[in-house]
Amino acid sequence: MNVHLGSELKARWMDYCEGLGKTPGAAIKEAIEYQLTKANANPVPKTYRQTEEAKEPKLRFEILMTISEKSAVRERAQLERCSMRRWIIDAIRTGLTHEPQFGMAEIDALGESNYQLLALGRNLNQIARRLNEGQYEPVTVERIEALSRLIDKHTDVVSGAIRASLERWSLE
């Protein structure tokens, strides 16, 4: 198994393992065994799918928070451009389903990414159509590089949205 951590994360991991008195490989093996044991002990996450046709009624549920917790939730909700209620519901859904709940920034990024991906698909369809019609379609290095740049841009946007969604739930 190969895992690319990057220099900063690798250095932190090596220091952490040294502090535990374990080799990095032994620590990873232990973490994998722990996750597999935990996965066997926990039920499969629920899937949450709600359609417009069959909306489930909402029930009031009150929670009490400390002042600092409420302040932290307010701050995170403002960063995500959503209400505190929406942020809390997304946190609960993530905990129940283990699926990301995207904020407005990620939704905007994924929308732009889809737009770029559709443009890429149109370009490829035009080339394929001309080739199927028997027409000579010059596939140049420049066109391939342009499509490659679109793919790279799409991948970066989606990766960033996924990373942001996952990092949103880590507490420090």
Tell me if 84 sits within 8 A of 77, measured CB to CB.
Answer: yes
Which residues have CB under 8 Å from 91's CB, separation 6+?
101, 169
Q: How confident is the model at residue 75 (pLDDT cuts 50, 70, 90)?
A: very high
Q: 171 pLDDT exceeds 70?
A: no
Angle, CA 139 vertex, CA 133 and CA 141 arms, to 5°: 175
More confident residue, 147 or 88: 88
- Find the mean pLDDT for residues 110-114: 82
pLDDT tier, 111 (very low <50, low <70, confident <90, very high otherwise): confident
Q: Tell me if the pTM is above 0.95.
A: no
Where do the structural domains in the chain lie, given as residue ranges? 1-42, 62-100, 102-172
